[in-house]
Structure 1
Amino acid sequence: MTRRRRTENEATRPPLIVRPLDASTWDAFARLVEASGGVWGGCWCLGFHMKLGRDGLSWAQRRAAKEQRVLAGTAHAALVFSGEDCVGWCQFGTPEELPEVKSRRRYEQGLVELPQWRITCFFTGKGQRRRGVAHAALAGALSEIARSGGGTVEGYPEDTDDRTLSGAFLHTGPMAAFEKHGFIRTRRVAPHRWVMTRTVTAGDCP
């Protein structure tokens, strides 16, 4: 697609808006997950809530487990919409809600105090890349955190270091998005993965 045609197509698309994941947006979220093969091998965005792989849960059971958390208010995400369609999201929550982190041993070695919030994963639907979905989702997550009282927030993005990576390796978020939104690198927990932190003030609009 030429740059001119891409620009023309973008001009006709609805603007991106962000809404929280809750009972009213569950169906739109679920449609995107289903259209994307369950996301990352069928995890249904549960991988930071619980250990997957040996859980023995079927696709339907994972879907139900995620929905149950959403309805109970223990699963949070900033969903990015284009018109009526959910096109991506950023998941966030407390450490109690999202206890599973990557590179746990290295993470715990350098841990001084748990954060109030974690930003754990991002997803952008097919055909929606380079629209700023991840940036919009992260901004939405930070706004939701501010409305919920703010506090210290951690993210765990992968530094590409000029490497070309598939989206599967960047599910914890693009480093550039975190830097744009004021996060700083706190410590390295893997060859290319960092803990990044910032403090969000209650009531702020990051």
Structure 2
Amino acid sequence: MSDFMIKALTPETFGDFAALVERNGGMFAGCWCTKFHPDCAEKGDSAGENRALKQRLVADGVAHAALVYDGDRAVAWAEYGSPEELPSIHHRKEYLATAERLPDYRVTCILVERGRRGHGLAAIALRGAVELIASAGGGLVEGYPHDTGGVRKKNSSFLYNGTRAMYERAGFSYDRPKGQGNCVMMRDVAPSTPD
């Protein structure tokens, strides 16, 4: 695991992110990990429109992710951001009706390259997101993984945000159910201190 490196998604690393997405078919139906961003005129039906939107959001500093590198190749990522950056979560109406407060950050999507799944890279991506959040000042972080009861019931391609067990191993605590088969996991992340 120590051979992997975490880098933030930035304009400089966007090409590595783009190569990973392209190797995986543009994500679900060409989403380019724009699903959870606010609706806007740029969010389109084509992969090309969504790629351009994601690139603009990264350039504007309102799209964040932890990229996992194996050498010089990005092989996984975990998208995170504030509720303002990522408002369009699944089961939003139910979520808002049961929320006591909004988090400072949420982790909305984790992707591992096909052929690399099942080797712990999703957990490394989640840990990388937590580390980047800590370096940005920390705060309350939520994730919305699949609650499989410890049994893998779904193909890993559809576990778009990992499992409850993975979040528990990363120090998150169960808060409540969300939708059918998902849950809200929470963790207070302390700010990191510079070395």
Q: Tell me the TM-score normalized by structure 1.
A: 0.87
1:51 positional shift: 4.6
Q: What runs of 5+ residues in structure 2 fail to find an aligned partner? A: none
Instruction: Tell me, yes or no, if structure 1 residue 158 matches structure 2 residue 146.
Output: yes
| Secondary structure of 1:41's aligned partner | helix
- Equivalent residue letter for 1:98: L
How far apart are the structure 1 equivalents of 2:111 and 2:124? 12
Deviations 1:181-200 (A, max 9, x none): 11111111123211110100
1:114 positional shift: 0.8
Aligned to 1:182: 171
Aligned to 2:107: 119
Identical amino acids, percent of aligned pairs: 40
Aligned to 2:71: 83
Q: 2:185 aligns with which of 196, 200, 204?
A: 196
How far apart are the structure 2 equivalents of 1:129 and 1:168? 9
Asked if the contact 1:40/1:168 (under 8 Å) is kept, the reply is no
Asked if the contact 1:91/1:121 (under 8 Å) is kept, the reply is yes
How far apart are the structure 1 equivalents of 2:4 and 2:91? 33
Describe the shift of the 1:127–1:56 C-alpha distance in structure 2 as closer, same or farther (beyond 3 A): closer
Aligned to 1:172: 161
1:159 positional shift: 1.1
How far apart are the structure 2 equivalents of 1:102 and 1:141? 20
Q: How does 1:126-165 map to 2 (within 5 A)?
A: 126-161=114-149, 162-165=151-154
| Secondary structure of 2:80's aligned partner | strand
| Secondary structure of 1:91's aligned partner | strand
Aligned to 1:7: none
How far apart are the structure 1 equivalents of 2:28 and 2:143? 19
Q: What runs of 5+ residues in structure 1 fail to find an aligned partner? A: 1-9
Q: Tell me the TM-score normalized by structure 2.
A: 0.91
Instruction: Tell me, yes or no, if structure 1 residue 38 matches structure 2 residue 23.
Output: no
Structure exhibiting the larger radius of gyration computed from Cα positions:
1
Describe the shift of the 1:202–1:157 C-alpha distance in structure 2 as closer, same or farther (beyond 3 A): same
How far apart are the structure 2 equivalents of 1:197 and 1:204? 22
1:42 positional shift: 0.7
Aligned to 1:60: 48
| Secondary structure of 1:195's aligned partner | strand
